[in-house]
Structure 1
């Protein structure tokens, strides 16, 4: 079955199950959804712009895949303390240049008391400030979260569970969340397994301000990647075991620590995040990344500006490797494998809430790559260090 048909079938089944359950046993059912219909293009055919976990991107020809998605969420309330939630999501596939369907959430929620709740099943991981709504365009001012930060950890959910604490102290609401589970992220050339992955966050809301601290840690491994496996094997064969040992593929420990703040004060809107990624393998480099967004509300219109950047904290080459002779190609491969995409983005955009549950957005980003191709796909020779403009228009909606 082709991916688009599978995607439509999956969402249809969620809706059908909701209707069936309501009809058979009277269990209260809530069906909601969200989506984005967008067209995205760039001013260059030398490389493709994409978002995290997408196998294909876009060039000069406008395409809907990069920024478009559709989701349906069904919640069944068993009792005052127990409920069940499933969320299906259709978006661009990480394994091929098509749309695919996935079961993003599927959990049972148990309310332990007024402050604590427990969720068991497939739950979203609180990795970023907008983790739960990163795919819900309508919930965000920007058309998309900045790649500079939101590509650093590519896992959205885990099979396991979490505990959430929420309590209000006067005008301040405190939410603490801890999640643990196992996850697998598939791509066109490899699989990454996280077992376990642990993610925690603390969110404090007071008036127009929201403050967040988060940390995720995991043991992970990269599998089924023939090029990386071959590189490590060859380094060992030619006596460069010390270099190979720095390119661990399995049983790798990694952490991601982040802090964020959001503000909606009078007509002023602001949001910022700063994050650091650290791992035990040079194949997933240590990075520091950040962005800041500011906007101003004029009635139903919100013009905004956003800037993001990322830098690599770990070394970008093995200085001891030979650059000439029979091992030059192997050295180039090893040095290329440990380089993270470096780029900065400056974007401007406009959001128009033309309907009570829909918003129209336009956004233009100017992306400057440095010392490589940044986060672009399928770059042609000579692209490194280029500057690319990305244009997008979208309608976000919820129901």
Structure 2
């Protein structure tokens, strides 16, 4: 199958069965859904592999929670111009539990054939596959590359957007501009964006898609005793200038990304480049990218991708002592300002063995750089590289 980045339908791309429920004096309700049943393991017990914002991950034993999820969406059409959409998502969450969340809940007004307005809870379009990154069936790989897709936390915001979709000959343009606020739980703390503004531009022409995205936000990290305590200790120890660089309230940040896809004949290509910038050392400045290529043999699509992330802000705080009584405090600061940098090489295969279902098998070799990378709970001396194995079935209905 060929999948394109059509913005408002992408969350359930590939769905072929959408039952509609009618009742007297009630609008028609269309139900659809998606899910992934997967198992994941690694070749080490020295650290745990996770998807972004999970509290517990996979080691040598197979785990089903890392790459599995289930979503259900309902759309009620009140008039030709007005509709309501709700989407719920069940997946592993930041407290090592399977939790349900309200991913979408918005009203959409179709002003013209090319212009739509939405108000409510909306997916945050910071990545190329933002709207449908949880829909495994709509993606070639078993999961979005972590090097790029763990740089911004927060899958949705409460607010409004406007979507303009004109056509110019064979080219379709989608321009989405929106804004709002959100507060979402992370592992060990919360992050709040207020306000958040985003611009998402997609150009599609036949098998080719180009995309640009930009998000700006004022954000705060709350509920972290460790970060608050670190700042207080620095000030009490006379390192006020260092504490000022580790702000966690009213921080300015931006995320810029470029990407593209090609699904031409049997050749599949996809790539993305992203830059995160903030004015606090605790949310580091990073550049990240990935490139994926595959070749389709009938319903079988083998693929390969390479991903990489580097830190552009400092990884060692200058001016702090490395010996003496303050040395442990220096080590704590340096540990807090180091991003999880790594590179990945992965090979996999996707088999669309029946309508609306695909089997995927993927092997990642992940090499952390100057630390544990994106792995959590590393044992002393852990450096990698680590092999990660996963197999799963994606489905839509």
Q: Same fold (TM over 0.5)?
A: yes
Secondary structure, aligned partner of 1:46: coil
Q: 1:386 aligns with which of 376, 381, 384?
A: 384
What CA deviation, in whole Å up to 9, does each residue of 1:333-386 have, x standing for no partner? 011000000100000000000011000000000000010010011111111x31
| Counterpart position of 2:65 | 65
Partners of 1:199 and 1:366 in 2: how far apart? 33
What CA deviation, in whole Å up to 9, does each residue of 1:107-161 have, x standing for no partner? 0000011111000000011110000110000000001000000000011110001
Q: TM-score, normalised by structure 1?
A: 0.94
Q: CA RMSD in A?
A: 1.3
Partners of 1:281 and 1:156 in 2: how far apart? 22
Pair 1:184-2:183 in alignment:
yes
Partners of 1:263 and 1:19 in 2: how far apart? 32
| Counterpart position of 1:6 | none
Partners of 2:233 and 2:120 in 1: how far apart? 41
Partners of 1:139 and 1:35 in 2: how far apart? 11
What CA deviation, in whole Å up to 9, does each residue of 1:248-268 have, x standing for no partner? 010000000000010000000
| Counterpart position of 1:141 | 140
Pair 1:272-2:271 in alignment:
yes
Secondary structure, aligned partner of 1:28: strand
| Counterpart position of 1:12 | none
Do 2:231 and 2:246's aligned partners in 1 also have CA atoms closer than 8 Å?
yes
Partners of 1:234 and 1:97 in 2: how far apart? 30
| Counterpart position of 2:393 | 395
What CA deviation, in whole Å up to 9, does each residue of 1:157-208 have, x standing for no partner? 1000110000111100000001111111212311110001111111000111
Q: 1:215 Cα shift?
A: 0.3
**For 1:177-216, what aligned pairs fall within 5 Å after superposition?**
177-216=176-215
- Cα 1:394/1:257, change in 2 over 3 Å: same
Partners of 2:242 and 2:348 in 1: how far apart? 45
User: Which sections of structure 1, spanning at least 5 residues, go unmatched?
Assistant: 1-17
Q: 1:238 Cα shift?
A: 1.0
Q: 1:26 Cα shift?
A: 3.5
| Counterpart position of 2:316 | 317
User: Which structure 1 residue ranges, 4+ long, deviate > 6 Å from structure 2?
Assistant: 18-21
- Cα 1:367/1:79, change in 2 over 3 Å: same
Q: 1:66 Cα shift?
A: 0.5
Alignment size in residue pairs = 380
| Counterpart position of 2:6 | none
| Higher fraction of helix | 1
Q: TM-score, normalised by structure 2?
A: 0.94
